[in-house]
Structure 1
Amino acid sequence: MREVGIRELKARLSYYVQLMQAGETIAIKVRNKIVGFFSNLKPSKKPKPKEMSTRELKKKIEQWKKEGILISGGFYHHVPFKRVKMTPGPTSTEMIRQMRDEE
């Protein structure tokens, strides 16, 4: 039996449903107190889904990149921009206030 907090359950519901379908019982905890259980009505003989470690996941991602299945966006590089000089005269806020006063 696995115990899982409500936040993790919400975030990874499909994973826990797969475990449940594979015959595992899931205990749902709220503030470290078990409040309910998920269990399969008919335990199946399906193998339990394997949870990947971070290292395995990184290897899989690299493999997908090499195969062309996954295209990485890379890192975001900040590009400095040139500052725009304001022209003399009223600001947009002042113009809107003036238009509202005229109405």
Structure 2
Amino acid sequence: DGWCGPTDGPQCADCQAVRRAQEQVPVPCPAAPMRGGGNIRPQNVYKELENMKRENTCKICLDEQINSVFIPCGHLACCMGCAGQLPSKECPVCRASIVSVVETFRT
């Protein structure tokens, strides 16, 4: 069916997120006024999910989630593993000197 794992069993986080997003896609009532100029289409949900995944992926290793912030510039660009292995103590985005790296957490 195009999903990893059995349809009634465990799946990867990406497939779970897509399924949750599909379940939350509103079905517009023909009598209700349209908000925002239209309804959400499933293909837009997939695009948005991919955009969010790309935005939150480490720009260096392209595998892990971004979970570090460079001080003082404030850029969020990579995972803690890559932040600790930068060859220079410069932000890869703006080249500002990095004083410290702080691990970030999403809730």
Provide the TM-score with structure 2 as the length reference.
Answer: 0.27
Q: Which one has the bigger strand percentage?
A: 1
Q: Bigger radius of gyration, 1 or 2?
A: 1
Provide the TM-score with structure 1 as the length reference.
Answer: 0.28
Q: Which one has the bigger helix percentage?
A: 1
